[in-house]
Structure 1
Amino acid sequence: MPEGHTVRRDAHRLAARFAGSPVVVSSPQGRFEQGAALLDGRTLVSTDAHGKHLLAAFDDGRVLHVHLGLYGKWTEGDGVPDAPRGQVRLRLEGERGWADLRGPTACEVLDSGGVDALRSRLGADPLRADADPAVAWARVHRSRSSTAGLLMQQEVVAGVGVVYRAEVLFRAGINPYRPGRELGEGEWVAVWDDLVTLMAAGVRAGRIVTTRPEHRARRTGRPTRADSWYAYRRQGQPCRVCGTEIAYAQLAQRHLTWCPSCQPR
C-alpha cells in the first residue's frame, strides 16, 4: 500500500497539472459516474493530503477524496489522452494534460462536513505542518498494544506503512513488540522526529531510503534498492549494523521485520 509520502507527491502533481483551470471529469468504468458529474467542468482550487488520503478541492466547495488502498494507482500524461484502457475509475482532463485513477479503495465526493469527519478520524501526519505529535503520544503511552501495531493505526499516526514502521523502529533501537505504555516520551519524540525527516525525504526523492552512507555497500552516489533499508524485506539477511539475522513475523496480517540484537525485547 502506498505510504504517506507517495500520496503527498500525488497531490503535488495533480495540483501542478490541474489547479486553477476547469477540469473535465469522467468515469470511464462507470463506478464513479455520479460523482464525476458533480465535479465535471469545475475548477480545481487546491490539493492536500492527510496520511494516505488525498483531497482535491473544487471551486464549488466539493472535495474529491481518494484512498488508493492496496491496488490504487494514478497514471498521467501531457496532451490528449488515448481511449481508456482497463478499469479507469476516474479520468481528469485539463489544459496541461490528463490523469487516470485505477483500483482505489475510496473515490468519492465530500462536502466540508465530510472532510471534517474524515480528518477527525485520522491521527497526526508527520508530513503536515499542523501535526501535533503530543496528540499521538497521548494515545501511545496509555496503550498496551505493541509499538509496531500503534504506528500502523492511522488514527494514531497517519501515513505510516510497513516500510516506515520497520525502518524507524530499527533506527530508534525499539523492539516492535514493546508496548506503547513502556516507551518514554523522549523515545517517542525521537521516533516522531525521525518520521518527519524520513518521510519528507521520501516526498523529495519519490522513494524510501533510510540507511546511512556508512551502512551501504556503495557509500557514494544514489543508493541502490538493495542499499535502501535496514530491516524491511531483509528477513534472513545479516543486519547492516551488527550482522545478526533479520527476523520476520506477521503482525495484524502485515509483514514485520526487525533485528533481535539492535532492537532487543
Structure 2
Amino acid sequence: MPEGHSVHRIARQFARNFVGHRVAASSPQGRFAEGASLIDGRTMTASRAVGKQMFLEFDHELWLRVHLGMYGAWDFAGDITTDATIRSASGRMGQTNQRGTVLGAQAEGSEAEIAVAGENATAAASGVSLDDVDGEDSVQSIGAPRRARLRMAEQEKVGDDYATFPPEPVGQVRVRLLTETAVADLRGPTACEVLSPEQVAAVIGKLGPDPLVDDTPQAEDDFVAAVTKKPTPIGLLLMDQSVVSGIGNVYRAELLFRARLNPHTPGKLVPADTVRAIWRDWTHLLGLGVRTGQMMTMDGLDDPAYAKAMANRADRHWVYKREGLPCRICGTNIVMEEMGGRKLYWCPVDQA
C-alpha cells in the first residue's frame, strides 16, 4: 500500500501540472461516470494530501477524494515535471483548519528539504547516482519535463515513451483527468468520490496528525496523547490512521526498530519521551521520502553506502523484509510475524 510520502508526492505532481488548469474528466471504464461528470470542464484549484488520503479541489467547491488502498495507482503522461519544490500554506481543506501542501517558490526551499538536512542530504546533492533498481524513485526526473508515462503508487516508474498525446488509457482506468498538456489516469483505488467541503472536513476530522500537514507542537502532543492512553500494542497504533496519518507497513517496522521498541508494547506503557521521539523521527523520514521518492530509513551512511542504499531497497532498511537475515546491529535473525493482518518485521534482541 502506498505510504504517506507517495501520496504527498502525487499531490505535488498535481500541484505542479494540473492546478490552475481546466480539466476534462472522464471514466474510461465507466464505474465513475457520474462523479466524473460533476468535475468535467472545471478548473482544479488545489491539491492536498493528508496521510494516505488525497484531495483535489475544483471550482464550485467540489473535491475529488482518492484513497489508493492496496492496489491503486496514478499514471501521469504529457509534459510533466516530477516532484515540485513545495511549502506549507494556510489554505483550508473544506472547512477545516488543517493545512495542506502547495507548490511554492523555488527560492523558499521546502519543509522536506529542511527535514533531511544532515549528513545524508549531502550525498543526495553531491551528484551520486540515485537510480533505484525497483523503480521506487524518480530523482533523475526532478525538475525536468519529459513526455513519458510516470506511474505513481508505492513505487514510481517511468514507462515507455508514446507517439501521440493523450495516450490511450491502459487497463481499467477509473478516472482520467486531462488538461491541454498533461493527463492522469487512476486505476484500482479503494476510494474515489466527489465530495462537498463539509464532507471533506468530516473525512479529515477522523484522521490523526500528519507532520507535513501540521507540524505544530499541538500535533505532536495529540499524537503522544493518543498513543499513551491506549492499551493497544504500539505496532498496531502506528498503523491506525486515526492516531497518526501516513504510516504503513514499511515505516512501522523501521520506526520501531530505530526506537529500539518492542512492537507488542502497549501504547500506555511507552514512555512519553519515546513517543515524542517517534513522532520527530517520522517527520524526518517522511520528509526524506517526499524529497527522494524512496523510503530511506538508514542514517549515518557515507556517500558510496548511501548511493548503494538508494539504488536497492534491500540496502536501505534495518528490518523490513529481512526475515531470517542477521540484524545489522546485533546479528540475531530478524523475525517476521503477522500483526493487524500485515507482516511485521523486528529484532527480538535489539527491540526486546
TM-score w.r.t. the length of structure 2 is 0.72
Q: Among residues 329, 333, 339, which one is paired with 1:241 in the alignment?
A: 329
Q: How does 1:170-249 map to 2 (within 5 A)?
A: 170-214=257-301, 219-223=305-309, 224-249=312-337
Q: Greater RCO between the two (CA within 8 Å, min separation 6)?
A: 2
Query: Aligned partners of 2:212 and 2:72: how far apart in 1?
Result: 21
Say whether 1:106 aligns with 2:191. Answer: yes
Report SS of the residue matched to 2:305.
coil
Which one of the candidate residues 213, 219, 222 is aligned to 1:128?
213
User: What does residue 7 of structure 2 align with?
Assistant: 7
The CA deviation string for residues 60-98 of structure 1, in whole angstroms up to 9 with x for no partner, is 110000000000000011162222222100001102210
User: 1:130: Cα distance to partner?
Assistant: 4.9
Shift of residue 242, structure 1, vs aligned partner: 1.1
Task: Give the Cα separation in 2 of the matches to 1:45 and 1:83.
Answer: 26
The residue number in structure 1 matching 2:341 is: 253
- Say if 2:140 is the partner of 1:54: no
Aligned AA for 1:244?
A: T
1:143 aligns with 2:230: yes
Q: Tell me which residue corresponds to 1:92.
A: 177
Q: Structure 1: where are the runs of 5+ without partners?
A: none
Per-residue deviation at 1:140?
Answer: 0.9
Give the TM-score normalised by the residue count of structure 1: 0.96
Displacement of 1:137 in angstroms is 1.6
Secondary structure of 2:345's counterpart equals strand
Residues of 2 paired with 1:9 and 1:41: CA distance? 25
Residue of structure 1 equivalent to 2:105:
none
3-state SS in 2 of match to 1:177: coil
* Percent identity between the two aligned chains: 45
Corresponding residue number in structure 2 for 1:83:
168
Separation of aligned partners in 2, 1:162 and 1:126: 18
The letter of the residue matching 1:248 is M
Relative to structure 1, the CA distance from residue 136 to residue 220 in structure 2 (aligned partners, 3 Å threshold; closer, same or farther) is closer
State the alpha-carbon separation in 2 of the partners of residues 68 and 247 from structure 1.
Answer: 29
Using the alignment, how far apart are the partners of 1:227 and 1:54 within structure 2?
A: 30
Conservation of the 8 A alpha-carbon contact between 2:223 and 2:279: no
Q: State how far apart, in whole Å, the 2-side matches of 1:148 and 1:217 are.
A: 32
* Counterpart-to-counterpart distance in 1, 2:168 and 2:213: 37
Instruction: Name the CA distance, whole Å, in 1 between partners of 2:313 and 2:190.
Output: 28
Counterpart residue number, 1:158:
245
User: What secondary structure, in the 3-state scheme, does the structure 2 residue paired with 1:134 have?
Assistant: helix
- Aligned residues between the structures: 263
Q: Aligned partners of 1:130 and 1:38: how far apart in 2?
A: 34
What is the alpha-carbon root mean square deviation over aligned residues?
1.5
Give the AA of the match of 1:51: G
Q: Distance in 2 between matches of 1:84 and 1:140?
A: 44
Give the secondary structure class of the aligned counterpart of 1:189. helix
Moved over 3 A (4+): none
**Separation (CA, whole Å) in 2 of partners of 1:222 and 1:60:** 48
